[in-house]
Amino acid sequence: MAEITAALVKDLREKTGAGMMDCKKALTEAAGDLEAAIDWLRKKGLSAAAKKSGRVTAEGLVGVVSEGRRAAMVEINAETDFVARNEAFQNFVEEVARAALKVGDDLEKLSSAVVASGRTVADEITHLIATIGENMSVRRARVLEVPSGVVASYIHGALKPGLGKIGVLAAIEAPTEDDAIEQLGRQIGMHVAATRPAALDVSGIDPTSVERERAVLTEQARASGKPDAVIEKMIEGRIRKFYEEVVLLEQVWVHDGESRVKAVLEKAGVKLAGFDRFQLGEGIEKEENDFAAEVAKAAGG
């Protein structure tokens, strides 16, 4: 029997798209014969993943797991919304979120983490692609932690606890980890889900985007024909309005429609150390299909 080397396993993975453990098993079953191993994988349906790797994945689920001072959030994509209702896929998203809680949000490290099946995240997703029949990908992950306080999580429109299409983490530094702080964190999560802030504070806004906004506002203000001193005040007022729209601490608290978020935090005696918001498929260019044209084509029209 030919020696089953790492290079041979790698070659089989590249040819079939199957997971590493499946490739090792196939080579063992085929006594090291590469072509026979390919046939073995094809018979088991495990080489199908390679055929699906080019398909757009803009559906799927966002998953969150929170454990007191540390929480993790992941986005795992698939081709259709149907997969989000698949129990095996849901379990996988939960497992990847728990793995991120342990190993962090570096995708390379996360892909090597082992899940309940005994396979790595990378191999498990290849296995799911073959068994469920859709291309999938672990798109991103985020882990937040505070030395004292809580990292609250929130899922908007949850399909089940911890799984949905919009997820938020809110890291609150506080002297305690009581229910009131947890509730405030959930409220912040709801606020962030609704308002989509670009940054925590003014310093987090890209200066280039501020200057671009200022240039647009300047042109608008000059069109009014007012004196330069008045124009300058108009611009500064509009820049403040811009910050109120995109900076979390400057936004109006959605829960009362009056207070600033920073005032709510000050009143509670806590600090918001960080946040993140994942919206499923955000930024992914989806394919627009003409269903009628597809039917006509299939019918030979």
Q: CA distances (Å), 19 to each of 97, 100, 126, in order?
A: 20, 20, 6
Out of 5-9, 107-111, 160-164, least confident range: 5-9
More confident residue, 290 or 23: 23
Fold for 6-47, please state it.
Answer: Helicase, Ruva Protein; domain 3 (1.10.8)
Please state the pTM of the whole predicted model.
0.75
pLDDT of residue 9: 86
Mention the CATH class of domain 206-246. mainly alpha
Structure token digits, residue 37: 């191993």
Please answer whether residues 100 and 63 qualify as being in contact, where contact means their C-beta atoms are separated by less than 8 angstroms: no
The CATH 1.10.8.10 domain(s) of the chain lie at 6-47
| H or E stretch covering 50 | helix 49-52
- Enter the CATH code of domain 59-201+248-279: 3.30.479.20
Beta bridge partners of 62: 75, 164
pLDDT value at 249 more than 70:
yes
> Is residue 74's pLDDT more than 50?
yes
Query: How many other C-beta atoms can be found within 10 angstroms of the C-beta atom of residue 110?
Result: 23
Question: Looking at the chain, which residues constitute the CATH 1.10.286 domain(s)?
Answer: 206-246
| Tokens (6 digits) for 260 | 């600033």
Domain with CATH 3.30.479.20 in the chain: 59-201+248-279
Lowest mean pLDDT among 37-41, 42-46, 128-132, 199-203: 42-46
Nearest partner of 88 among 137, 40, 125, judged by Cα: 125
